[in-house]
Amino acid sequence: MQKVRLKWVKNRGLDHLIERTTSIRASCLLLDHLSRLPGTSPVPARSLARLQKPLGLTVPVLRFLRRHPTLFSEQPHPRFPTLLSFSLTAASHTLLSRLADAYAHDAHLRLARLLLLTRSRSLPLASVLPLRFDLGLPFNFAAAFPASHPGVFAVANNRISLRSTSGLPEDIAVSSLQRRHAAAIDSATYRALSRPPSSSSAPLAFPMRFPRGYGGMKKVKAWMDEFHRLPYISPYDDASGIDPESDIYEKRNIGLLHELLGLTVHKMVRRNAIRLLREELGLPHKFTRLFTRYPGVFYLSLKCKTTTVVLREGYERGKLVEQHPLAAVRDKVHYVMRTGVLYRGKGLSKLVLDEDVTEEEGALNGEEFEGEGMDGDADVECFRMEIVDDDGSADDVDDEGYSDG
């Protein structure tokens, strides 16, 4: 199968969402860290400086803390008055309580599906921890899940494994693409069911959202039709008998990455976190080319000084298509953060933390960005296309500069 290589196209709307989610991630991790520290004394800022890289911040931790006074209250240390210290505000404790309730929604199912995607149904805890925020796992999942589901999870030698799927839903090993198409068939009309199976809209076709100009290209359409006609291999099925160099295995990898991103709360994940799972998932060494080769499925961004992959179908006009309850609470976190940025010290008096989103809260949460290039139409840069052979050596490093080395 010939492959069409498309130049990377910037999407300002998705870049904004990545930047927003990165700030929410840092705030949630800091809230979690500060809430678990013993004692009630404020925490010195210098002891939090080492967390800048794990938090994914592009600014110093002290600057981030001072930027959001509605979450982190700056006060002198009781023993050393000149030492900058921080504690949680009343709004932070309210948000922590809501986050704890949202974690209990279906976190164990997400972890179970992640383990089912691996070859050995197990992962090192060091590989799961970077995905804790993305999968919506509580900080103590390594101890809580085996205790609450002893027949399902087990932890030994710093690895968490899936013992059995008994007690889990029957469709635990059914991909989101399969579930979606099964639901579509149940509600489909006669006209939709009469489409030929070779059509790009046939069942188990990946939703494609190309930037402007890509989807109308005849060569791109022909390539995608050929790609969709390949058999779909569920990422939960054993793929050991498939040639790793075949087109079918590549489609299997696309399905696996599609499912992995679909498991995340915000439909995005950092590439470095995927690299930690590469061997267990059976991905090729240079897996980044899969993202750049299929820009209709994935969006690759260098925002916030890291490489992040976004599932395009997960967002519609800047909003999550299927919002998880945890994402709704994190939107509240962002609202509290933005209130502190706008009103500074007076932000606490402006907060509205009831269950209904007010008009002001909606604006602060970023709804003013709705329609601003969220589907990539407003930020298309020049691009080129070329037909390359499957064994072309030009694939070693992507044209866009993304390398898996």
Q: Letter for the amino acid at 393? A: S
Residue 262 and residue 175: Cα distance in Å, rounded? 9
Packing angle between helix 90-103 and helix 12-35, nearest 10 degrees?
A: 100
**How many other CB atoms are found less than 10 A from the CB of residue 96?**
17
Assess contact for 67 and 46: CB atoms under 8 A.
no
Q: How far is CA 118 from the centre of its chain?
A: 18
Q: Is 404 exposed, middle or buried (0-12, 13-18, 19+ CB in 10 A)?
A: middle
DSSP H helical ranges for 140-246: 141-148, 176-186, 190-193, 218-229
> CA 396, 401, 61: angle at the middle one, nearest 5?
130
Under the phi-then-psi rule, with left for phi > 0, alpha for psi from -120 to 50, and beta for the rest, what region is 217?
beta
Buried b (16+ CB within 10 A) or exposed e, 37-68: eeeeebbebeebeebbeebbbeeebbebbbeb
Assess contact for 265 and 326: CB atoms under 8 A.
yes
C-alpha pair distances (Å), 9 with each of 15, 227, 376? 11, 21, 8
Q: What is the DSSP letter of 271?
A: H
- Please list the ranges in the chain whose pLDDT falls under 50: 190, 193-194, 196-202, 356-360, 366-401, 405
pLDDT (0 to 100) of residue 3: 66
Look at residues 51, 124, 42 and name the one whose alpha carbon lies nearest to residue 75: 42
Buried b (16+ CB within 10 A) or exposed e, 338-375: bbbeeeeeebbeebeeeeebeeebeebbbeebeeebbb
Dihedral angle over CA of 308, 314, 320, 322, nearest 10? -130
Q: What is the DSSP letter of 369?
A: G
Predicted structure pTM score: 0.84
Q: What is the DSSP letter of 173?
A: T
pLDDT (0 to 100) of residue 66: 93
Who's near 198: CB < 8 A, 6+ residues apart?
Answer: 225, 229
C-alpha pair distances (Å), 100 with each of 34, 49, 104? 15, 26, 7
Residue 248 and residue 228: Cα distance in Å, rounded? 10
Half-sphere exposure at residue 143, Cβ-oriented, CA atoms within 13 angstroms: 2
**Helices and strands (DSSP H and E) totals, the chain:** 17, 13
Query: How do strand 3-6 and strand 385-388 relate by DSSP bridges?
Result: antiparallel
Q: Is 270 helix (H, G, I), strand (E, B) or coil?
A: strand
List, as one string, the DSSP characters of 5-69.
EE-----HHHHHHHHHHHHHHHHHHHHHHHHTSSSSSPEEGGGTGGGHHHHT-SS-HHHHHHH-T
